[in-house]
Amino acid sequence: MANIGIATGPASGILVLDIDGERGRDSLRDLLSQHRLKKTLIAITGRVDDGGKQSGWHLYFKYPTGSSIGNSLGPLGDGIDVRGRGGYVVAPPSIHASGQKYRWRYEERGLANLPESLLALSRSVENDWEELVGDDLIRKGFQNTTLYRIGKGCRRKGMSRSDLLEHLLSENRKRCSPALPEDEVREIAESAWNHSKFGPNPLESAWKKVLLEQHRSSWSKFISLARHVQAAQPDLPILLPVVLVGKLMGLDRTRISRFRSRAIREGVLEIVADYVARKQATSFRVLLQA
């Protein structure tokens, strides 16, 4: 059986909060202490923790009429992603790469409205670049999200690709405590540059196709993702940034790095251009097509 994807945004009238494991639940508890969150439909995702227990939740809400809330990573807290305009979620009874089945909880509930205070935070992701620029330290757990949002603001203001990267590297050095590894900042810059507002991100478009396929392992999903990205741009090298790919697949960056290395060893990928500090990310070409 193929997995099921549900579009989010104004067309479907659905807005989803993606709660990512224990860190997402910790952030959700903080939200509940500050905002009145109404009871709503919930899906238990197939993501599992180190003990093998299903640890991810999708909280379904009504998409606010006349609003423009897109997709964002962590605006409501570490481990809570927003899925809105142009987004999607995998729905029950789909099967996760872990082998666990997505399942509904509280099916009798309708879709609640998200409190206006949280809608305002979600909307701010698209417009708060000026608020993020300054000298305040960016604390641990929020570096990726904040740098990504700053990068999107730079992109909207017409900054060049190289200047956007240099700006994020500078912000990382000055304001992140602790600072992120430089290659991670480079991948955040690539994600911000390819933000869907300026055209579909090829990785996210390819991932939607992978989710509708049957795969026995995360490894096979990774290979399928690479092939779909290459098929969309057959004459160009592709990027497989470990941070963004890991976020899409629900895996850590070390696992994705190992997948890339294995794919090179097995002749699935070849390196077109090596990583050069401050200049370019590693680019690849897929050698084996489906």
CATH number of domain containing 235? 1.10.10
> Does residue 124 sit within a domain?
no
> Does residue 70 sit within a domain?
yes
Is 14 in the same domain as 114?
yes
Gap between the Cα atoms of 180 and 178, Å rounded: 6
Average pLDDT, the chain: 81
Phi, psi dihedrals of residue 17, rounded to the nearest 5°? -100, 120
Q: Which amino acid belongs to residue 239?
A: L
pLDDT at 111 over 90: yes
Last residue of a domain, one of 148, 173, 196: 196
Report helix, strand or coil for 85.
Answer: coil
More confident residue, 70 or 109: 109
Is 181 in the same domain as 204?
no
Report helix, strand or coil for 211.
Answer: helix
Residue in 39, 45, 77 with CA at minimum distance from that of residue 61? 39
Span of 130-139, 163-172, 218-227 with lowest mean pLDDT: 130-139
- pLDDT tens, position by position, 186-235: 888 887 777 645 445 678 788 989 998 989 899 999 999 999 988 887 77
pLDDT at 265 over 90: yes
Is 69 in the same domain as 165?
no
Sign of the dihedral through C-alpha 40, 78, 8, 216: negative
Q: With pLDDT > 70 as the criterion, what percentage of the chain qualifies?
A: 85
Is 209 in the same domain as 182?
no
> Does residue 209 sit within a domain?
yes
Is 182 in the same domain as 206?
no
- pLDDT-derived band of residue 278, with 50, 70 and 90 as boundaries? very low
Helix (H) or strand (E) holding 230: helix 218-232
Is 17 in the same domain as 94?
yes
| CB half-sphere exposure, 51, CA atoms < 13 A | 5
Residue in 13, 8, 15, 6 with CA at minimum distance from that of residue 116? 15
Is 103 in the same domain as 149?
no
Gap between the Cα atoms of 81 and 64, Å rounded: 17
- Neighbour tally for 17: CB within 10 Å: 25
Last residue of a domain, one of 196, 220, 252: 196
Is 133 in the same domain as 182?
yes
**Cα-based torsion angle of the residue sequence 90, 260, 51, 104 in order, rounded to the nearest 10 degrees:** 0
Average pLDDT over residues 88-108: 85
Gap between the Cα atoms of 175 and 154, Å rounded: 17
- pLDDT-derived band of residue 129, with 50, 70 and 90 as boundaries? very low
> Does residue 34 sit within a domain?
yes
Q: How far is CA 188 from CA 11, 111, 277, in A?
A: 29, 33, 14
Range of the domain at 52: 4-119
- Neighbour tally for 81: CB within 10 Å: 22
**Cα-based torsion angle of the residue sequence 243, 247, 249, 252 in order, rounded to the nearest 10 degrees:** 60
Instruction: State how many domains the chain has.
Output: 3
> Does residue 134 sit within a domain?
yes
Average pLDDT over residues 35-63: 86
List the structure tokens of 160: 């060049």
Is 115 in the same domain as 39?
yes
Confidence (pLDDT) at 1: 54
Model-level pTM? 0.49
Average pLDDT over residues 109-135: 66
Gap between the Cα atoms of 217 and 239, Å rounded: 21
Is 187 in the same domain as 215?
no
Is 9 in the same domain as 49?
yes
Confidence (pLDDT) at 131: 42
Last residue of a domain, one of 88, 119, 150: 119
Confidence (pLDDT) at 61: 95
More confident residue, 49 or 265: 265
> Does residue 58 sit within a domain?
yes
More confident residue, 43 or 248: 43
Residue in 91, 85, 89 with CA at minimum distance from that of residue 9? 85
> Does residue 207 sit within a domain?
yes
> Does residue 147 sit within a domain?
yes
Angle subtended by helix axes 143-156 and 182-193, to nearest 10: 40
Dmax over Cα atoms in the chain, in whole Å? 54
Is 76 in the same domain as 14?
yes
Q: Is there a contact between 239 and 286 (Cβ–Cβ < 8 Å)?
A: no
Confidence (pLDDT) at 43: 93
